[in-house]
Structure 1
């Protein structure tokens, strides 16, 4: 019987290599659930609201990335539920994926040709594009501080910081307990191309 793989939850923002993380770990034999047309976010929110184990219906998967859904009717940012996820999966690895914040803002503002930004603006009742960017910038720093504060002390073993500009392959290898093929790391989509990496579709 194959050894059970450690669960991995990506808990940084979208447009920070979320798909690349999923594909990289899939290359190493992990089964990844990436966005799934927003179903990950919906299930996570409903599970927590109804007192069930978060993402219990996705037990066959090892890796969870891009757990959000943003449109005119819905705004679910499941990566913010890292506390509930850690409580349910105390041995899991939580990956705080990050990049240069201003480059991230430009990428996120262009996501889905600007539709994502407009949906977010309408959902939060913000008056214009610049108000959205200001909120995103504040959210970025607040979320990073929240994650670092929560995963301190004994919980620090559960956290890995992952910069898409400077991937910590050695750190990830140690956390997962096996060697990684660094050559398999590919940046996927326009967000990663912004950072100077090749697109892989």
Structure 2
């Protein structure tokens, strides 16, 4: 059996919620518990020294009809499957159907949070650079980008929940603010022995000093008008 075929037959963890929903914290939980995991375009496990464009590879695999993680067999966890560049935007996590079909032993995390807080966090992400990249790539105003994100949030959550509704044991719906981490650790046991001591909130946008400035314009922006 090839490495690629072996990966399709063993348990893996795949996060299919959006960024700014504790993706790095989840990755660290898995990595520090001994589960070699990929986050966006980097890894602290095997293969970090190679620094390939992981998301581009996953995108090419999916486009060619190959299993998404072909060539990435040294990973058992896949997180933050998105990457935006000046001329392209990979949202590989939205291909959850193809991933689920190619990897029957895969278990999925729909990481989520309050939508208004998520929109604010995304608008602030990387000092607004993530928002600016979206504006340039999609030729949209700030308002249009945020409205698109809000609609995308609703449709993606609905699509994921509908798809997995008749697939018990394959999806955990995890609210990063409301749910205990035991919801994750119990879901992946006994395949992955995740130690909750490694759970914490990394890269929490609202904790950054620039986001605490009195003149931060996003503090008073009404994100709730885009729906809850």
Give the alignment's TM-score, normalised by structure 1: 0.87
2:153 equivalent to 1:148: no
> Which residue number corresponds to residue 62 of structure 1?
76
> Which residue number corresponds to residue 6 of structure 2?
none
2:35 equivalent to 1:30: yes
C-alpha change, 1:82 and 1:73, in structure 2 (3 Å) is same
For the aligned residue pairs, the C-alpha RMSD in angstroms reads 2.0
Secondary structure of residue in 1 paired with 2:174: strand
Q: Counterparts of 1:177 and 1:190 in 2: how far apart (Å)? A: 27
Residue of 18, 31, 49 corresponding to 1:13: 18
Which deviates the most, 108-117 or 173-182? 173-182
Size of the aligned set, in residue pairs, is 189
Higher Cα Rg, which structure: 2
Matches within 5 A, 1:163-182: 163-178=175-190, 180-182=194-196
Alignment deviations for residues 123-177 of structure 1 (CA, whole Å, 9 cap, x no partner): 2222x10111111000001000000000011x13100011111234333233222
Contact map agreement 2:32 2:198 (CA 8 A) in 1: yes
Alignment deviations for residues 26-77 of structure 1 (CA, whole Å, 9 cap, x no partner): 1221001111258232111100112221111111101111111112211111
> Which residue number corresponds to residue 77 of structure 1?
91
Contact map agreement 2:27 2:38 (CA 8 A) in 1: yes
C-alpha change, 1:156 and 1:121, in structure 2 (3 Å) is farther
Matches within 5 A, 1:89-108: 89-108=103-122
> Which residue number corresponds to residue 136 of structure 1?
149
Gaps of 5+ in 2: 1-8, 43-51, 209-228
C-alpha change, 1:106 and 1:181, in structure 2 (3 Å) is same
Q: Counterparts of 1:192 and 1:22 in 2: how far apart (Å)? A: 20
Q: Counterparts of 2:27 and 2:198 in 1: how far apart (Å)? A: 12
Secondary structure of residue in 1 paired with 2:104: coil
Give the alignment's TM-score, normalised by structure 2: 0.77
Deviating beyond 6 angstroms after TM superposition, the runs of 4 or more aligned structure 1 residues are none
Q: Counterparts of 2:194 and 2:63 in 1: how far apart (Å)? A: 37
Q: Counterparts of 1:137 and 1:84 in 2: how far apart (Å)? A: 24
Contact map agreement 1:15 1:192 (CA 8 A) in 2: no
